Chain A
Amino acid sequence: MVSDGANNTMAFPRETVLKVASLARLQLTPEEVDLFATQLGATLDYVARLDELDVSNVEPMVHAIELTNVLRDDVLVPSLPRHDAVANAPKTDGKYFLVPAILES
């Protein structure tokens, strides 16, 4: 796949937009689907410019920060009082987060 720049936008399939939206639990209007297809296409196109570089001798980057081994000791830190923990819940009985009945099996 060769791109000649950000101006010449590759089409991003509407089905892919719909799939990504469904995975993210987003409900889109048909206009939004068109808009995101164009915008995502342009973004991916721009990223695709990296394909022009020869990276065969470059180690894959696994993280943006060049830092490793940030560890903490296994020491208890006070937790939030329950009142605060559930404070932002859309629905609570003061003890639990309440969600619409989950049907198992």
Chain B
Amino acid sequence: MHYQPIIGLEVHVQLQTQTKIFCGCSTAFNPDQPNVQTCPVCLGLPGALPVLNGTALRLAIKTAMALNCQIAKFTKWDRKQYFYPDLPKGYQISQYDLPFSFDGQVELITNAETGESRPIRIIRAHLEEDAGKNVHDETGRGRDSMVDLNRAGTPLVEIVSHPDLRSAAEARQMLEELHALLTYLEVSDCNMQEGSLRCDANVNLHITKDDGTVVATPIVEIKNLNSFRFTEQAVEYEIARQWKAFQETGKTIKDAPKSTRGFDPDRGVTTIMREKEEAADYRYFPDPDLVPVTVTDEQLAAIRSEMCEAPAVMRKRFQSEYQLSAYDASVIIDQGRLLAEYFEATAKLCGDGKQAANWVTQDVLRVMKERKETIANFPLRPEVLGSLIARVTQKQLTIKSAREVFADLLTAEEDQTPAPSMAQIDEIVAAKGLAIVQDDGAMETAIAAVIDKNPKAVADFQAGKQAAVGALIGQVMKQLKGADAQAVREKILTKLSGG
């Protein structure tokens, strides 16, 4: 008997608008000042009329295009009715049977090393409004819960995938891929701490019995996962739990309804929230306060022209155009669009993608991390880094010297001087004598002088102590900082062997 996990995600993405989806209240994250971003519309006061935010619609269409969805020419609004304290109107404005987009797919990288990928199908993406936030009494004394409606009415796109994911790791990768895609497009900041990207995971197992028959376990929806790690942990736990439950009870999808569970990150377990006795009855009906939306081909073409390159496309292009490994390309792409653009500018300027990738993924990322800086504030601009790397590829500087210049440029920047320039590279190289000595005459002279001054080391070497040559090399290098140590070594050896 063996099993195959079957996983689908429902991802909620907060769109990057200034104002809410149907009113002019701010969407700023502001938990310290509850209930200061509300109005009659988002409070659901009688007589208030919602009006659609045009930017929310445009960003939503952009999202759907990035998901390779079909865009509906005609879409409408429906009321989804249920009672919960964070839902002031008693219904959520959402889209039921005519969502603005459907039938898409996302290419999921399933192996970071090889870059192998597989399409994950998207059933639909629709627009809706977010609910408010309930703040619970943590003392356990049953005190009142507190409701903050600042968030009520924030525009969300809900993305529903087919159950095409096959492991907890893939569920996490899918969420990461969407995160990268949506931040590249600048449709959402995808800030997970602030709830701008969160998901529900539908999980069950297809079990192949020893006689070859296949049965499915009851479907569980894990609600409100708000980090990549929790998503992976929750799904992982749920797969193991269902496998154990099936072995103990033999219950299949035919014996039990779909149930809802929550994830407790402290204990790393999912716990039952409710069994759905029957399909929830939301009594959807068209919202009479909002008129339908139509879009023309011209409008869609205009939105399409604003689209930037998708990270998945950029990842492939970096591999072919700059000869990067799938892994290096992913490391760069996953850092966000600004870093990817920084890399590309640097690679173009120095003419060596592989070297540029090494510098960006090692040196630049390390310094950014140490200084807790974003690439936007990184003091070395691509022109300067590109020029520095070019000197290495053109054999004017050794890697070691270039690292020294890199560090010095950053220190100089800390001393409040203007941002490091290309001229400063020349100054540092000159001041420290780092330029690779291509003048054989200078090297010969230096070597001859060192040999003259160190008869003991020479004698040791000639007596068979190979290590003695190291001291000689060291002294030559001290004089000619930019010299290539390997070349110096060869020349000394030749000389000492009577060359």
Please give the residue numbers on chain A whose beta carbons come within 8 Å of chain B beta carbons, in ascending order.
Answer: 19, 23, 25, 62-65, 67-77, 79-82, 85-86, 88, 91, 93, 95-102, 104-105
Contact = CB atoms under 8 A, between A and B. Distances in A.
Contact of A101 (B23, B26, B34, B136): B136
B143 A101 contact: yes
Contacts of A88: 45
A71 B38 CA distance: 20
Nearest to B290: A70
B442 interface: no
Interface in B129-161: 134-137, 142-149
10 closest Cβ contacts across the A-B interface?
A: A77-B24, A96-B146, A74-B55, A71-B54, A97-B147, A98-B144, A99-B85, A102-B145, A72-B51, A85-B38
B135 A63 contact: no
B291 A67 contact: yes
A88 B45 CA distance: 10
B272 interface: yes
Nearest to B41: A77
Interface stretch (B246-254, B281-289, B346-354): B281-289
Interface string B42-74: 010100000111111100000000000000001
Nearest to A89: B147
Nearest to B43: A85
Given A75-B18, A76-B26, A77-B39, A85 B145 contact: no
Contacts of A86: 35
A23 B143 CA distance: 26
Given A74-B18, A102-B134, 6 more contacts: A62-B286, A65-B288, A74-B17, A82-B35, A93-B146, A100-B144
Contacts of A19: 281
Contact of B19 (A64, A65, A76): A76
Which of B39, B148, B262 has the most CB atoms of chain A within a 10 A radius of its CB?
A: B39
Contact of A105 (B17, B52, B272): B272
Interface residues of B, number: 56
A77 B43 CA distance: 15
Nearest to B38: A85
B146 A97 contact: yes
B273 interface: yes
B40 interface: yes
A59 B105 CA distance: 30
B35 A95 contact: yes
B144 A74 contact: no
Nearest to B54: A71
B125 interface: no
Instruction: Provide the main secondary structure of the chain A interface.
Output: loop
B293 A68 contact: yes
Contacts of B74: 62, 68
Contact of A79 (B37, B45, B281): B37
B98 interface: yes
A85 to B, nearest CB: 5
9 contacts: A65-B288, A68-B291, A76-B19, A80-B40, A81-B36, A97-B85, A99-B146, A104-B136, A105-B264
A86 B24 CA distance: 18
B411 interface: no
A100 B142 CA distance: 8
Given A72-B24, A73-B54, A79 B39 contact: yes
A62 B144 contact: no
B294 interface: yes
Nearest to A81: B36
Interface string B82-118: 0101000000000000100000000000000000000
B18 A76 contact: yes
A69 B136 contact: no
Interface in B357-412: none
A69 B24 CA distance: 17
A85 B25 CA distance: 12
Contact of A70 (B51, B76, B98, B143): B51
Contacts of B268: none
B438 interface: no
Given A80-B40, A104-B136, A23 B293 contact: no
A69 B77 CA distance: 12
B292 interface: yes
A64 to B, nearest CB: 6
Nearest to B293: A69
B454 interface: no
B288 A98 contact: no
B320 interface: no
Given A74-B56, A75-B24, A101 B144 contact: yes
Nearest to B132: A97
A104 B134 CA distance: 10
B271 interface: yes
Contacts of B85: 97, 99, 102
A40 to B, nearest CB: 14
A77 B38 CA distance: 10
Given A63-B286, A65-B291, A97 B35 contact: yes
B292 A96 contact: no
Contact of A64 (B52, B137, B281, B288): B288
Contacts of B43: 80, 85
